[in-house]
Amino acid sequence: MAATRAFVLIETAVGKTKDVVAALHQVEGVSSVNVVTGPYDIIVIVEASDLASVGDTVTSNIHTIAGIVRTVTCLAVS
C-alpha cells in the first residue's frame, strides 16, 4: 500500500466531466475516481510512495487534463 494518499477535489468545465473522468482513469497513481454532487464534480484518490510523488502526479498528470477548471488537494493524515 502507498505511504502517502491525497484526495483531489476537481471542478470541471460545463459538459467536460465525462471526458475528464476518462482521462483520470489513465493516470498512474490514481486509485479511485468518483463523480460527486456539490461544489466539486469529481473526487480522486491519488496514492504514491511519498509526498513528492503525489505532488508530481497532481501537477504533471492531473492539472494538465483538458476540462479541469480548478483543483483542491487534501492530504490524508491517518
Which tens digits make up the pLDDT trace of 62-78? 999 999 999 999 999 98
Mean pLDDT calculated for residue range 34-58: 97
- What pLDDT was estimated at residue 78? 86
Res 1 pLDDT > 90? no
Q: Which tens digit of pLDDT belongs to each residue from 12-37?
A: 999 999 999 999 999 999 999 999 99
Q: Report the candidate in 28, 20, 17 with the shortest Cα–Cα distance to residue 57.
A: 28
4-75, CATH topology level: Alpha-Beta Plaits (3.30.70)
Q: What pTM was computed for the model? A: 0.94
Strands of the 42-48 sheet, one edge to the other: 30-35, 42-48, 4-12, 68-75
Mean pLDDT calculated for residue range 40-52: 97
Helix, strand or coil, per DSSP, at residue 59: helix
Dihedral pair phi/psi, residue 57, rounded to 5°? -60, -45
